[in-house]
Amino acid sequence: MRELTQLRDQVTVWLSLSKRLEDALLLAEMEDEDLAVELAQESAQLTYEIGRLEFQTLLSSEYDREDAYLAIHAGAGGTEAQDWAQMLQRMFIRWAETHAFRVSILDESAGDEAGLKSCLLAIEGAYAYGRLRSERGVHRLVRISPYDSSSRRHTSFAKVEVWPEISEDIEIEIDDKDLRVDRFRASGAGGQHVQKNETAVRLTHLPTGIVVSCQNQRSLTQNMNTAMSILKTQLYELERRKQEEELAAVKGEDVDAGWGSQIRSYVLHPYKMVKDHRTNAETGNTQAVLDGRLDDFMEAYLRSRVGETA
């Protein structure tokens, strides 16, 4: 029923657009000057909507329509990198909010002095994974560090991992002996109940070494169910991609979050520029990008990948 609804919605949009195009052509054939303004407005709106639909055709991989999990890990750079990880978390949350997507912070580990060592987000919305898969890889920041008393320029890195929410559509059996379950108190906000009881959970799949943590729910059962769902998704991804020669980990190519492996650079000093090294797309409006304006980079990546397997 879900697939039927999605297909029906797609067909309805195209049929409606086709009818509007026919009506606009009829107006144009009438050559009535009084209708010129109305025709120009409709033409502009149709152009915009066709462009939007053209972009959606780029999101045609198997799981592009699904919700997404997004993980961020601070890399080389110490406190500076941990602060960068938190900046990226804010950037992706802002991006999701502009698209009216729902964002949940499932787990996060605070940095030693500032920022985050890692975090895990669930992002729910149409084509969330299809858009966000362009962000998978190492992100590099160059700036004057606010944590350096000498105001020197620092380079730091963080790795972003993205995978689709597909656990409801798959069946994976996990043997209890292959699973280690650790319970602990949630570290973030969540009320006295969360703080006083061991409601957070960490699952370790011993054969693969995959570790999943969840602490955003108020009960141990809820966190356990969410963590198990994520674990199943990762195990499925591992199985699905294990035949691909260049895949070394569950959620894309496993690369070190350090020099030479970045997919995108965010330079705040000595000049301002964000550049994607895969597509050469760039902009000088760094603040807009850090505030979540990522669609241009996502579209450039998707266009560059037409015909390839995501």
Q: What 3 state SS string does the chain have?
A: CHHHHHHHHHHHHHHHHHHHHHHHHHHHHHCCHHHHHHHHHHHHHHHHHHHHHHHHHCCCCCCCCCCEEEEEEECCCHHHHHHHHHHHHHHHHHHHHHCCCEEEEEEEEECCCCCEEEEEEEEECCCHHHHHHHHCEEEEEEEECCCCCCCCEEEEEEEEEEEECCHHHCCCCCCHHHEEEEEECCCCCCHHHHHHCCCEEEEEECCCCEEEEECCCCCHHHHHHHHHHHHHHHHHHHHHHCCCCCCCECCECCCCCCCCCEEEEEECCCCCEEEECCCCCEECCHHHHHCCCCHHHHHHHHHHCCCCCC
Give percent of the chain with pLDDT exceeding 90.
45
Q: Which of 28-42, 80-94, 288-302 has the lowest mean pLDDT?
A: 28-42
Predicted TM-score of the model (pTM): 0.72
Residue 205: predicted pLDDT: 92
On the question of pLDDT at 248 being above 80, the answer is no
What tens digit of pLDDT does each residue of 174-201 get? 888 999 999 888 765 444 444 557 788 9
Render pLDDT for 39-72 as a digit per residue (tens, 0 to 9).
888 888 888 888 778 777 888 787 888 899 999 9
pLDDT value of position 62: 79
